[in-house]
Amino acid sequence: MNASLQLALLLLTLGSSRGLQPDLWDDFEEPVEAERVVAASRFGSLWPLPQKVKISDVSLLLSGLTFRIADGKGSSSGASCSLLQNAYRRYYEYIFGHSKRQPEVESFPAGPSVVTELQVLITSADSECEGFPGVTSDESYELTVDQPYAVLKAPKVWGALRGLETFSQLVYEDEFGAKSINSTTISDFPRFAHRGILLDTSRHFLPIKVILANLETMAMNKFNVFHWHIVDDPSFPYMSRTFPHLSQQGAYHPYTHVYTPSDVKMVIEFGRLRGIRVVPEFDTPGHTQSWGKGQKDLLTPCYSGDKPSGTFGPVNPILNTTYDFMSKFFKEIGTVFPDAYVHLGGDEVDFNCWKSNPDIQKFMAQQGFGQDFSKLESFYIQKLLDIVATTQKGYMIWQEVFDNGVKLKPDTVVHVWIGGGANEEMGKVTAAGFTTILSAPWYLDYISYAQDWQKYYKVEPLDFKGTEEQKKLVIGGEACLWGEYVDATNLTPRLWPRASAVAERLWSAADVTDINDAFSRLSAHRCRMVERGIPAEPLFSSYCPREYRGI
Amino acid sequence: MNASLQLALLLLTLGSSRGLQPDLWDDFEEPVEAERVVAASRFGSLWPLPQKVKISDVSLLLSGLTFRIADGKGSSSGASCSLLQNAYRRYYEYIFGHSKRQPEVESFPAGPSVVTELQVLITSADSECEGFPGVTSDESYELTVDQPYAVLKAPKVWGALRGLETFSQLVYEDEFGAKSINSTTISDFPRFAHRGILLDTSRHFLPIKVILANLETMAMNKFNVFHWHIVDDPSFPYMSRTFPHLSQQGAYHPYTHVYTPSDVKMVIEFGRLRGIRVVPEFDTPGHTQSWGKGQKDLLTPCYSGDKPSGTFGPVNPILNTTYDFMSKFFKEIGTVFPDAYVHLGGDEVDFNCWKSNPDIQKFMAQQGFGQDFSKLESFYIQKLLDIVATTQKGYMIWQEVFDNGVKLKPDTVVHVWIGGGANEEMGKVTAAGFTTILSAPWYLDYISYAQDWQKYYKVEPLDFKGTEEQKKLVIGGEACLWGEYVDATNLTPRLWPRASAVAERLWSAADVTDINDAFSRLSAHRCRMVERGIPAEPLFSSYCPREYRGI
Cβ-in-10-Å burial (0-12, 13-18, 19+) of A370 comes to: exposed
Do A129 and A161 form a contact (C-beta atoms < 8 A)? Answer: no
If you write DSSP's letter for every residue of A73-134 in order, what string do you get? TT-SS-TT-HHHHHHHHHHHHHHH-SS------SS----TTB--EEEEEE-SS---TTS---
Q: What is the pLDDT of residues B206-260, one digit of tens each?
A: 999 999 999 999 999 999 999 999 999 999 999 999 999 999 999 999 999 999 9
**Distance from the B327 Cα atom to the nearest Cα atom in chain A, whole angstroms:** 26
Spatial CA neighbour of B528 closest among B181, B44, B45, B86: B45
Q: How far apart are CA A344 and CA A321, in angstroms?
A: 19
Q: Does the pLDDT at position A33 exceed 50?
A: no
Spatial CA neighbour of A431 closest among A454, A443, A414: A414
Which of B235, B446, B449 is nearest residue A24 as measured by Cβ atoms? Answer: B446
ipTM of the complex, rounded to two decimals: 0.91
pLDDT band for position A342 (cuts 50, 70, 90): very high
Chain A residues 178-197 with a CB less than 8 Å from chain B? none
Q: What is the pLDDT of residues B507-542, one digit of tens each?
A: 999 999 999 999 999 999 999 999 999 999 999 999
- Most B CBs within 10 Å: which of A484, A529, A531, A549, as the mutation test of the B interface? A484
For residue A78, what pLDDT is reported? 81
Q: How far apart are CA B48 and CA A336, in angstroms?
A: 47
Q: What average pLDDT does the segment A169-183 reach?
A: 94
Neighboring chain B residues of A440 at a CB cutoff of 8 Å:
21
Higher-pLDDT residue of A541 and A107 is: A541
For residue B104, what pLDDT is reported? 52
**Distance from the A148 Cα atom to the nearest Cα atom in chain B, whole angstroms:** 35
Q: Does the pLDDT at position A6 exceed 70?
A: no
For residue A104, what pLDDT is reported? 52
By C-alpha distance, the chain A residue nearest B440 is: A21
Which of A482, A536, A538 is nearest residue B19 as measured by Cβ atoms? Answer: A482
By C-alpha distance, the chain B residue nearest A16 is: B484
Neighboring chain A residues of B204 at a CB cutoff of 8 Å:
538, 541-543
Do B488 and A531 form a contact (C-beta atoms < 8 A)? Answer: no
Which pTM value belongs to this model? 0.93
Q: Does the pLDDT at position A292 exceed 60?
A: yes
If you write DSSP's letter for every residue of B486-517 in order, what string do you get? -STTTHHHHHTTHHHHHHHHHHS-TT---HHH
Q: How far apart are CA A551 and CA B492, in angstroms?
A: 7
Do B96 and B179 form a contact (C-beta atoms < 8 A)? Answer: yes
User: CB neighbours of A360 closer than 8 A, spacing ≥ 6?
Assistant: A300, A316, A317, A318, A354, A376
* Amino acid sitting at position A134: G
Q: How far apart are CA A280 and CA A473, in angstroms?
A: 22
* Amino acid sitting at position A359: D
If you write DSSP's letter for every residue of B175-241 in order, what string do you get? TTS-EEEEEEEEEE--S-SEEEEEEESSSS---HHHHHHHHHHHHHTT--EEEEE---SS---B--S
Which of A18, A205, A443 is nearest residue B21 as measured by Cβ atoms? Answer: A443
For residue B110, what pLDDT is reported? 61
Catalytic residue (one of A348, A460, A484, A547): A348
Chain A residues 445-464 with a CB less than 8 Å from chain B? 445-450
Per the prediction, chain B carries an average pLDDT of: 92
Q: How far apart are CA A334 and CA A328, in angstroms?
A: 10
Q: Does the pLDDT at position B472 exceed 60?
A: yes
- Most B CBs within 10 Å: which of A12, A18, A236, as the mutation test of the B interface? A18
For residue A109, what pLDDT is reported? 58
- Binning chain A into helix, strand and coil, the percentages to the nearest 5 are 35, 20, 45
Q: What is the pLDDT of residues B138-190, one digit of tens each?
A: 999 999 999 999 999 999 999 999 999 999 999 999 888 899 999 999 999 99
Q: Any CB–CB contact under 8 A between B291 and chain A?
A: no
Q: Contact A537/B487, CB-based, under 8 Å?
A: yes
| Distance between start and end Cα atoms, chain A | 34
**Distance from the B489 Cα atom to the nearest Cα atom in chain A, whole angstroms:** 4
Q: What is the pLDDT of residues B320-341, one digit of tens each?
A: 999 999 999 999 999 999 999 9
Within A390-433, residue ranges assigned H as helices are: 399-403, 422-431
Q: What average pLDDT does the segment B100-123 reach?
A: 74
Q: What is the pLDDT of residues B222-236, one digit of tens each?
A: 999 999 999 999 999
